[in-house]
Amino acid sequence: MRLKATATLATAVLALTFATAAHAQMSEAATHGKATFDSKCSICHSADTTDKKIGPGLKGLYTHSTLADGATKVTDETVTERIVNGKVPMPPFKDQLTPEQIKEVVEYLKTL
């Protein structure tokens, strides 16, 4: 009986440790960015594959040397510019998101 309680406690502590570790992987900014992405971007972009939806899947975006056009380098500046101004058929987000929200989305894209 005591052994079982100890085992249960150990499992709970272990689970808590993993939960905390998983959360620590994403910064607060990236966590906010994910929420924005899920509500504003995920209709057109997958986050977990490079397969095309309406726009290119953004998995591993920051591991690519260029954007899908094959010419524009992937940097905070070019990715931010794309979100701010869009690129037909992607709508611009400068009137929908604050600069802070766009920064957070960029932080999130870096985790993909």
Site string for ligand HEC, 37-56 (x = CB under 6 A): ---xx-xxx--------xxx
Q: Is 83 in the site for ligand HEC (CB under 6 A)?
A: yes
Binding positions for ligand HEC, 85-104, rule CB under 6 A: 87, 89-91, 93
Q: Is 32 in the site for ligand HEC (CB under 6 A)?
A: no
Within 13 Å and on the Cβ side, how many CA atoms surround 54? 9
**Which of these, 105, 100, 87, 88, lies nearest to 40 by C-alpha position?**
105
State the burial class of residue 86 (Cβ atoms within 10 Å of its Cβ: 0-12, 13-18, 19+): middle
The contact set with ligand HEC (CB under 6 A) reads 40-41, 43-45, 54-56, 67-69, 79, 82-83, 87, 89-91, 93, 105
